[in-house]
Amino acid sequence: MRLIRYLKGSVAAVLVIVALLIVQAFTDLAIPRFTSDIVDVGIQQSGIEHAAVEEMRTETYRVVSLLVDASDEALLQSSYRESSEGTYVLTDEGHQRIDELDRALSVPMAYMGMLERADSTDIDHLKQAFEQGTLSRGDAQAKVDKMLAELGDGSDALVYQQALAAAKAEYEALGWDVAGIQSAYLWRVGLRMLALAALGMAAAIGVGFVASRTAAGIAANLRARLYGRVLSFSHAEVARFSPASLITRGTNDIQLIQMVEVMLLRMVLYAPILAIGGIVMIATTNVSMGWVIALAVVAIFVIIGLLMSIAMPKFKIMQYLVDGVNRTAREMLVGLPVIRAFNRQNHEQGRFDKASRKLMDTQLFTNRVMTFMMPAMMLIMNATSVAIVWVGASYVDAGTIQTGDLIAFITYSMVVIMSFLVIGMISIMLPRANVAAERVDEVLGTQGSIVDPEKETQVANIPASALVPLAARIEFRDVSFRYGEGSELALDQVSFVAEAGKTTAIIGSTGSGKSTICRLIERFYDATEGQVLFDGTDVRNMAQRDLRRQIGYVGQQGFLFSGTVESNVAYTDGGRALEPQRMLDALTIAQAADFVSGMGDGIAAPISQGGTNVSGGQRQRLSIARALYPKVRAYVFDDSFSALDYRTEAALRREMAKRTDTATVVLVAQRIASVMHADSIVVLDEGRVVGQGSHRELLETCEAYREIAQSQLSPEELKPHVVLAKGGDAR
């Protein structure tokens, strides 16, 4: 499973968590046993833990010596010594062998206690008969065997309880403070419980801390990898997944993975440890009621399996519906001005409500299905408790177990059931998280279609100290391109050369492929056929970084990042020290210096995300300044003057000619005025080159160009450039 694979890099943290969980399980499983001891020993037995008393009267010692098994007589004699007060006290050896002594003395003490409670004269007769020699050890043992036979199958537990009662009576007869013994025992056990609870709390806090840090680290690593992978994608991969889906995968999906990873580390790992420990504790308490637990666990898995079969298909759909909501919301936010301009608020609200309602209906369905789980589980738990009490009551009545043991058994049963319940509940969440992991891995496993070659062809290195870089030569050689398999050709056998140090303009109708050419130069896409050459080298044989560091690019949208004017213009330098003069030159050439200085903070003036706090023309000029700031060998302007007025554009072109006279310029434009002064103009129509040459040459030879010029320029503006045809008629 992918969720477990994510933990491979956190093996040390997982081992620490497992160790802490074992400690926590130990404390959680030990506390019910202490509770049982408080009830059975502290309350019912007045704190007396052993049938082997610390001190006994002489006559008691003699009777016990008579009733004890012959094989245990030596143990009894070595465990007690006669005191100066005429009593027998437990020796150090007796303390060390207290468990053996308990086993040896439980039957004699129980028998003696039963006789005293039945008729005190019986015990006196027993003592006299033993002293007079009329009662042999064999006869005494026969009486004990008869007592055990009368007790039946539960003799061991009943005998030990009777032995403890006799021990209490012995302490009282000796004048011991039995209430003090009880109080001391309760304090001792209570303090141990508090210490265990504190240890368990510390372990739980440690588990939570390590698990949260581990899951957060996994999520951070996934986000970083996802972001890095998306940055390597071409436009094709981004369009394939859609920006909204990529955002959802990087936020919602990874957040779900992080949450489930925490549950895996804190709950799923803990549940089997606790369940195994609970089963072991149940086995030490009473195995005969284990069938109740087994039946409850089977019922839990039947319910979980039923609910999973119903809800699982919906969980897989849910993540894609989240994509749909995000996609609709993003489209509405980006297109909000258009929506308001055409009064389509109600229509767009309806679209969003439709997408949101689909998600809501799916979530409601899964939630309603899941609501059956908790009542069903509580019913199973309560029914199990009732069954344990019902069955356990007969065992308590028969003396097979004590009340405290029954309480402990119920507690351990709930521990086991809750462990399997947690596993079941997590098993329902895991498939949804696994879907999220699949979506993230789908992005991580997708290789960008634009990749660097294994052995890059070296291009001319431009020294950082060079004041003026050498211009590059850009050539399109029989280039064809389509955006997707089966789609129409966006470019069809396009060939032209942008000579080094010259300005090459590209013009054509909308959809003719002008922007596609810019994207191929920058290698945002690779040509389907043909070659795009940069200084004679196919761009596919160059590292993307080496190619793009030599090109100043301005896209159609002129996107700005949140930050300042300075951070946007110097964006390409990647944190290098700012060169004020270069910054000023770039802003001046781009006709942005005046409005930047008027912003109050100058180049430190804030820019909001997307540049929404500046006008379209200002945003475009800052984007041009960003391309002009670094030292590059070629400039690519993709219809970058569209938001500028003619006067500003003319001033910008004049200033840019001074800066770019030693660099190659590829200029895409819709306006004739923007391209007419270019050294070479390439005319596109439906993805094909229909004309190449200067403005004057194209007016003479290219019908498509002449139509564009006539639609934008007046006859007076065209006249100086019109060549007289044969016969003297002006065209």
* Both tokens assigned to 407: 């309480």
> Do residues 102 and 220 both lie within one domain?
no
Is residue 447 pLDDT above 70, yes or no?
A: yes
Q: What is the DSSP letter of 573?
A: G
- Is the sign of the CA dihedral 518, 523, 529, 534 positive or negative? positive
Instruction: For residues 254-278, give the mean pLDDT.
Output: 86
- Is the sign of the CA dihedral 91, 92, 95, 100 positive or negative? negative
CA distance 52 to 90: 8
Is residue 720 pLDDT above 80, yes or no?
A: no
Q: Which DSSP helix (H) or strand (E) runs through 229?
A: helix 178-232
Tell me, yes or no, whether 507 lies in a domain. no
CA distance 30 to 24: 10
Kindly list the distances between the CA atom of residue 323 and the CA atoms of 252, 318, 580, in Å, as whole numbers in the listed order.
Answer: 10, 9, 45
The rounded mean pLDDT for the chain is 81
Residue with token string 């010259």? 502
Which amino acid type is present at position 576?
R
Of 77, 38, 1, 123, the C-alpha closest to 408 is 38
The pLDDT, as a whole number, for residue 721 is 55
> Do residues 346 and 222 both lie within one domain?
yes
The pLDDT, as a whole number, for residue 505 is 93
The pLDDT, as a whole number, for residue 272 is 83
652-691, pLDDT tens digit by residue?
888 887 766 678 999 998 888 888 888 999 999 988 999 9
Tell me, yes or no, whether 67 lies in a domain. yes
Least reliable range by pLDDT among 113-127, 337-351, 413-427:
113-127
Angle between helices 290-334 and 373-398 (to 10 degrees): 160
CA distance 437 to 417: 29
Tell me, yes or no, whether 572 lies in a domain. no
Instruction: For residues 543-558, give the mean pLDDT.
Output: 87
Tally of domains within the chain: 2
CA distance 476 to 492: 11
Tell me, yes or no, whether 303 lies in a domain. yes
CA distance 446 to 238: 11
CB 405 within 8 A of CB 36: yes
Question: First and final CA of the chain: distance in angstroms?
Answer: 74
The pLDDT, as a whole number, for residue 530 is 93
pLDDT, greater one: 343 or 150: 343
pLDDT, greater one: 167 or 148: 167
Instruction: For residues 436-465, give the mean pLDDT.
Output: 72
Instruction: For residues 210-220, give the mean pLDDT.
Output: 93
> Do residues 21 and 99 both lie within one domain?
no
Q: What is the domain-level CATH number for residue 401? A: 1.20.1560.10
Instruction: For residues 125-135, give the mean pLDDT.
Output: 60
Least reliable range by pLDDT among 233-247, 290-304, 691-705:
290-304
The pLDDT, as a whole number, for residue 159 is 76
Instruction: For residues 302-318, give the mean pLDDT.
Output: 76
Of 632, 475, 474, the C-alpha closest to 551 is 632
Tell me, yes or no, whether 601 lies in a domain. no
The pLDDT, as a whole number, for residue 658 is 74
pLDDT, greater one: 118 or 488: 488
The pLDDT, as a whole number, for residue 722 is 54
Task: Calculate ∠ Cα 414-416-418, nearest 5°.
Answer: 65
> Do residues 279 and 379 both lie within one domain?
yes
pLDDT, greater one: 162 or 531: 531
Task: Calculate ∠ Cα 412-414-419, nearest 5°.
Answer: 100
Is residue 465 pLDDT above 50, yes or no?
A: no
Is residue 467 pLDDT above 70, yes or no?
A: no
Tell me, yes or no, whether 494 lies in a domain. no
Q: For residue 73, give its domain range.
A: 58-173
Instruction: For residues 112-125, give the mean pLDDT.
Output: 60
> Do residues 83 and 10 both lie within one domain?
no
Is residue 167 pLDDT above 90, yes or no?
A: no
Confidence of residue 517 (pLDDT cuts 50, 70, 90): very high
Which amino acid type is present at position 24?
Q
> Do residues 19 and 165 both lie within one domain?
no
> Do residues 11 and 147 both lie within one domain?
no
Buried b (16+ CB within 10 A) or exposed e, 684-714: bbbbbbbbbbebebbbbebebbbebbeeebe
CB 448 within 8 A of CB 240: no
CA distance 43 to 51: 16
CB 663 within 8 A of CB 635: yes
The pLDDT, as a whole number, for residue 137 is 59
Confidence of residue 727 (pLDDT cuts 50, 70, 90): very low
> Do residues 21 and 72 both lie within one domain?
no
* Both tokens assigned to 222: 């996934």
CA distance 61 to 52: 11
> Do residues 62 and 105 both lie within one domain?
yes
Torsion of CA 143, 145, 147, 150, to 10 degrees: -130
CA distance 649 to 589: 11
The pLDDT, as a whole number, for residue 128 is 64
CA distance 311 to 289: 34
**In 660-728, which ranges are continuous DSSP H helix?**
672-675, 695-701, 703-712, 715-718
> Do residues 222 and 90 both lie within one domain?
no
The pLDDT, as a whole number, for residue 3 is 82
The pLDDT, as a whole number, for residue 123 is 58
Is residue 214 pLDDT above 90, yes or no?
A: yes
Please report, rounded to a whole number, the percentage of residues in the chain having pLDDT higher than 90. Answer: 16
The pLDDT, as a whole number, for residue 142 is 67
CA distance 671 to 717: 14
The pLDDT, as a whole number, for residue 521 is 93
358 CB-near residues (< 8 Å, 6+ apart): 321, 324
Tell me, yes or no, whether 258 lies in a domain. yes
HSE (side-chain half, CA atoms, 13 Å) at 314: 19
Is residue 206 pLDDT above 60, yes or no?
A: yes
Kindly list the distances between the CA atom of residue 384 and the CA atoms of 198, 284, 299, 388, 450, in Å, as whole numbers in the listed order.
Answer: 30, 19, 11, 6, 62
> Do residues 264 and 379 both lie within one domain?
yes
Of 105, 28, 33, the C-alpha closest to 65 is 105
Please identify, among 394, 427, 444, the residue that sits at the C-terminal boundary of a domain.
444
* Both tokens assigned to 346: 């109600």
Whole-structure pTM value: 0.70
SS3 content of the chain, % helix, strand, coil (to 5): 65, 10, 25
Of 617, 619, 598, 616, the C-alpha closest to 607 is 619
CB 304 within 8 A of CB 377: no
DSSP, collapsed to helix, strand or coil, labels residue 605 as coil
DSSP, collapsed to helix, strand or coil, labels residue 89 as strand
Please identify, among 395, 418, 444, the residue that sits at the C-terminal boundary of a domain.
444
Please identify, among 427, 444, 461, the residue that sits at the C-terminal boundary of a domain.
444
Mind giving me the DSSP string for 97-142?
THHHHHHHHHHHHHHHHHHHHH-HHHHHHHHHHHHHT-S-HHHHHH
403-421, pLDDT tens digit by residue?
767 777 777 777 877 777 7
Tell me, yes or no, whether 19 lies in a domain. yes
The pLDDT, as a whole number, for residue 559 is 83
Confidence of residue 728 (pLDDT cuts 50, 70, 90): very low
> Do residues 284 and 350 both lie within one domain?
yes
